Amino acid sequence: MTTDYITESVVRIEDVIKDFEGNGSDVPFRALDHVSFEIQRGEMVAIMGPSGSGKSTMMNIIGLLDVPTSGRYWLDGEDVSNLDRKQQAHVRNDKLGFVFQNFNLLPRLSALKNVELPLVYGRISAAERTERARAALTAVGLESKLNNRPNELSGGQKQRVAIARALVGNPSMLLADEPTGALDTRTGSEVLELFRELNHEQGITLVVITHDAEVGRQMDRVIGLRDGQLADNILESYYGVALEPSITKVPEMVEIARD
Ligand SMILES: Nc1ncnc2c1ncn2[C@@H]1O[C@H](COP(=O)(O)OP(=O)(O)OP(=O)(O)O)[C@@H](O)[C@H]1O
Ligand SMILES: [Mg+2]
């Protein structure tokens, strides 16, 4: 028996192509063009690139909201390239949490009820749902706003409710599309600080789409896209920002035994 040291990938994307039909042309539009990368457990990664470069398309595939035209996707070591909608939904509920630019909270429900929502479809008692939603809101510093509705909260607080909702199902990965896009700089930094805390304290893997070079600079790594292809050093080449070498993190090694 030999012992191999490998990194533990949460996401492994291999040679993914995404073509969109029906854009008024006979030729499908290639939004992702032979993309391959991995994301390690506990990494904080930004996906960056010009508008239309394929970021949301990539996020939808990682988030099991869409399927690649070809190529493979492994999530937590499981091949999820060809799941049907029902299987996708199951894995999504089990492993992923989503945060969106415009929060997507239900206006008539309190913060607590909004956070309970993802648990309603599972086999969890009402009392436990409330307890877990309360704990998630406490984790994001909103224990004093449990009964407030979204319109009674600031932008940053709304985003923190959305983050609590994404966390309440104990996901292995948090996916965020422009989470600070609707927030002012200072509130955006607070949300970012919260992500960093969750990453350090709970080891949660974070993937954010952002146009904000400052957000990108604070991640462990930036995956750059340009015209549907991976682009090296996008922070410098497109956003004109140099990445400090000190924040490039080496993934933790995991020991596995092999025959
Ligand atoms: N359903 C679709 N049908 C046809 N084309 C699509 C579809 N969805 C996306 N596209 C095209 O694929 C390309 C990538 O779109 P995507 O939404 O991934 O870009 P993005 O990088 O997220 O851009 P932005 O920064 O503006 O959000 C774009 O040219 C877009 O027009
Ligand atoms: Mg987008």
Index of the ligand 1 atom closest to the CA of residue 228: 14
Position 2 pLDDT exceeds 50? no
| CATH of 2-8+40-68+83-258 among 3.40.50.2300, 3.50.50.60, 3.40.190.10, 3.40.50.300 | 3.40.50.300
Phi/psi for 194 (5° steps) reads -65, -45
pLDDT digits (tens, 9 = 90+) for 4-27: 445 579 999 999 999 999 777 788
Using the predicted structure, report yes or no on whether residue 257 has a pLDDT greater than 70. Answer: no
> 229 CA to middle of ligand 1, Å?
13
Mutation pick for ligand 1 pocket among 29, 60, 175 (CB with most ligand atoms within 8 Å): 29
Confidence tier at 237 by pLDDT (50, 70, 90): confident
Neighbours of 142 (CB within 10 A): 22
Q: Which among 19, 20, 32, 212 is the best mutation to test ligand 1's pocket, defined by most ligand atoms within 8 Å of the CB?
A: 20
The model's confidence at residue 28, banded by pLDDT at 50, 70 and 90, is: very high
Among 129, 127, 192, 134, which Cα is nearest to 159's?
192
Residue 37's pLDDT is what? 97
Q: Could you give the percent of the chain with pLDDT greater than 90?
A: 66
> 131 alpha carbon to ligand 1 midpoint, in Å?
39
Which has the higher per-residue pLDDT, 242 or 196? 196
Query: Cβ < 6 Å from ligand 1: which residues?
Result: 20, 23, 29, 31, 49, 51-57
pLDDT at residue number 34: 98
**71-98 residue pLDDT tens:** 999 999 999 998 999 999 999 988 999 9
* pLDDT single digits (tens) 95-154: 999 998 888 999 999 999 999 998 987 788 999 999 999 999 999 999 999 999 999 999
If one residue of 27, 30, 56 were mutated to test the ligand 1 pocket, choosing by the most ligand atoms within 8 A of its CB, it would be 56
Give the model's pLDDT for residue 33: 98
Residue 53 Cα to ligand 1 middle (Å): 7
pLDDT at 4: 47
What does the pLDDT read at residue 253? 56
